[in-house]
A and B are shown apart, each in its own frame.
Chain A
Amino acid sequence: MKPLQVAAIAFLLLLTGMCFCAASVLPGGYERQFRDLPDAPPSHTHPLGTDDLGRDRLARLLYGTCVSLLLAPAAALLSSVLATCIGGLAGFVGGWVERSIMACTDLFLSLPWLFLVITVRAMLPLNVSPLASAAITFALLGTLGWAASARVVCAHARSLRRADFVLLARASGSTGLRLLRRHLLPNLRPIFFAQFLISIPAFILTEANLGMLGLGVAEPMPSWGGLLRELEGFALFSPQPAQFVPLILLVIVVVCFHLALPKQEIPT
């Protein structure tokens, strides 16, 4: 492991730990409205100041980070599993099955993503808790975000199907599940992990985009997208420096995820 990779992983672990400790460090919580202190500058009691409704910005940042750092990997796991199953099946079987699955995948990729998420979200039940709403948002992202990864997995599975060691295994009498379990899946593992790690920052950014449109995680649960809405129109006015902290943290976390990727396992 390279030092930069170690530093990135250490930072992500440290940040996750800090976010989990937030509840004990900041007893005010992320939802309490100090209505006499809206838009307060940083102070002893509110180190990053307060937002428009007087809620502690630091508490909201830590909880929001916690939400993204927990749920984005979960969504990435879901989409990577779907991509591996669908792409792996297509690549392994080949022929008309591969062509049909890949045609469906192309169709899925051509759909306008954001509108699809907004439409599906509008059909969900209304009475769900904010935490459940956050989980649903990321689950939606995971369910709808498998297609690009499936193409990569399919290409890799196809090359594996034609590999010498697979031909040898077939010649030795291995077929069906045994071939899949003993030869194909272990060799797909690196590509699975690579797709998983690539997907995490993508889902973080997608949730941030949805949040900016007001369609992300429901209030009062904070998320990075929701926190970034404070910067609307910043080109015109001078926001408090503390309002940039979520943006800076988002950039650092996304960069850290990319640095943490095992480079030799990225398919080229």
Chain B
Amino acid sequence: MKRLLSCLSLLIAIAASSFAVAQTGGELRFCLRSDPKTFNPILVEDDASETIRYLTGGVLMHLNRSTQQLEPELATSWKVSEDGKTIRFKIRDNMSFSDGTPFTAEDVVYTIQRLMDPAVHSPTGDAFRSAPGKVTALSVGKDQVAVTFPAPVVGLDKLFDQVAIMSAHSPQKEMAVLGPYRVAEDKAGSYLLLKRNPYYWKRDAAGRQLPYIDSIRLDIQQNRDMEMLRLVRGEIDFINTLDADSYDKLKAKAPGMVQDAGTSLDAEQLWFNQVASSPLPAYKKAWFTSTHFRRAVSSSIDRADLARVVFRSHAQPAVSWISPANKYWFNARLQPHPFDPKAALQLLSQDGFHLKNGTLYDRDGHPVEFSVVTNAGNKAREQMATMIQQDLAGIGIHLNIVTLDFASLIERITRTFNYEACLLGLTNDDLDPNAQMNVWLSSSENHQWNPSQKTPATPWEAQIDSLMRQQASTLDLKKRKQAIDKVQEIVWQQEPFIYLVNKDAMSAISPSVHNAHAVVLRPQVYWNIDRLTLGKEVASRQ
């Protein structure tokens, strides 16, 4: 009897504690850097608007940020035709927007029409435009929609993760949503308040309606130090992205708060200006267009030191334009370029460079000196540039570091081309490498080292153009993988971008937020927003 009583009391204790842990209700708080520029989901361009879209928008299918697999949402199933031009969805029934307007196939058709309307200029819609021509969206019966594109669209189904469905009939227009939350209050420059969507369709295994948390308060806070301070004071519940410095400092103060999800998709990279019409002297253009020169510079940079010192070991030497975090597309045969100043000097000697009294000279006797521009205020980049400066001094190259305000930097690298080398980072949200077509095609404006070429300046750029077009024109995943692997190999050999490090995805989460497991893909912390719960102390905070 005594044993039975003790078992019973234990069960009651467990039930009570689990109730306290899986507390529903409450208000989750975190910070946005700026006000969202739009609440219209098809016009989203900035980070803040993207956050609102993610928290409020209902999508046909959802990319699970943890498993990197597509999952059904508003569409219970879908099928892409063999020619890759048509996708058919079967729509979930008996659902409503946040204002009670019923959700039908007509809403999907309306959203696709708005998305692909050239007059709307939707940045989300741009990803679907594989060729000129009209996109047709038709409802087939009561619960099916077929969307047909003029040409095959690579990775078509995954693109729908970004398309929040809008209501064709709601008087609230884009403010009527199908996601877990709706915008309840917007105080420009101060905060946004999101409240639970009473018509949200998802339920947990126990049949309880999701999301668990009642409301989300998004404070507009530009200052990162203030954001950290507020987290430590308990005024906000998480910080989505942390830099290595803040991570270590916060870890020393509150070890349970920080999470390192591992290598992210983002890379830090250095490139030389290879624009033929740039105002650089001819001998410098000759250096920068030489593969030997670029590879020598690459070999003389100690990437392991950059990762260890600048990023406090929360980064790893970068290999390719695709991060190892992108498990399917990364070419695992490639290794980081080793730190080898002797090999660098050998490469340079093949182009007539020679060392004299600790200074490197080219074959015409010009001392090798160039500048690298980077954006002012980014401590990690300034530190990387300083370390590269010391590394290059080891092979007799004199590097000058120039920090510029961002507008001046962009002006130099995109308009005047009055720069020699640039150190910047690439933020990557998309797993599919097709999203980087605008970087790799030599005709593209974003082909940073030599943009908007009429014809490819080098045979290897022509080969990259051909391979990228080839992978964009087939739906055969194996063929696409082969083409992308080959592009990675060419880039590894030619180094138009010298990839330095892949940073880790780091976040800080208050212990009072439960079910939060930071992942590599954005949004790192709140990717499973409808499953997050708050501890008792936070749930009661109003």
Contact = CB atoms under 8 A, between A and B. Distances in A.
B371 interface: yes
B387 A53 contact: yes
Interface in B371-408: 371, 373, 376-379, 382-383, 385-387, 389-390, 400-405, 408
Most chain B CB atoms below 10 A, which of A118, A119, A133, A214: A214
Nearest to A124: B402
A237 B246 CA distance: 9
Contacts of A127: 369-371, 400, 420
A220 interface: yes
A118 B232 CA distance: 34
A133 B370 CA distance: 15
Given A122-B408, A213-B377, A215-B376, A237 B253 contact: yes
B376 A233 contact: no
Interface residues of A, number: 28
Main SS of chain B's interface residues? helix
A218 B418 CA distance: 19
B229 interface: yes
Contacts of B376: 213-215
Contacts of B401: 218-220
A33 B390 contact: yes
Nearest to B391: A33
A220 B389 contact: yes
Most chain B CB atoms below 10 A, which of A31, A220, A229, A236: A236
A190 interface: no
Contacts of A214: 376-379, 382, 403
Interface in A190-227: 213-215, 218-220
A213 B249 CA distance: 21
A52 B383 contact: yes
Nearest to B374: A214
A195 B218 CA distance: 49
Interface in B209-234: 224-225, 228-229, 232
Interface string A103-137: 00000000000000011001000111110010000
A35 B309 contact: yes
B405 A122 contact: yes
B305 interface: yes
Contact of B402 (A38, A126, A233): A126
Contacts of B228: 233, 236
A208 B305 CA distance: 29
A219 B382 contact: yes
A54 interface: yes
A236 B408 contact: no
Most chain B CB atoms below 10 A, which of A118, A122, A133: A122
Nearest to B229: A236
Contact of B419 (A118, A126, A129): A126
Contacts of A237: 249, 252-253
Contacts of A38: 309
A220 B386 contact: yes
A229 B309 contact: no
Contacts of B253: 237
A114 B232 CA distance: 33
A53 B386 contact: yes
A232 interface: yes
B246 A126 contact: no
A235 B229 contact: yes
Interface string A32-60: 01010010000000000000111000000
Contacts of B369: 127
B376 to A, nearest CB: 4
A122 B404 contact: yes
Contacts of A220: 386, 389-390, 401
Nearest to B409: A122
Contacts of B385: 219
Nearest to A118: B405
A235 to B, nearest CB: 6
Interface string B294-338: 000000000001001110000000000000000000000000000
Nearest to B246: A233
A214 B375 CA distance: 9
A33 to B, nearest CB: 5
6 contacts: A122-B408, A126-B420, A218-B401, A219-B385, A233-B249, A236-B225
Interface of A: 31, 33, 35, 38, 52-54, 118-119, 122, 126-130, 133, 213-215, 218-220, 229, 232-233, 235-237
Q: What 9 pairs across the A-B complex have the smallest Cβ distances?
A: A122-B408, A214-B376, A126-B371, A233-B225, A237-B249, A214-B377, A219-B386, A219-B401, A215-B376
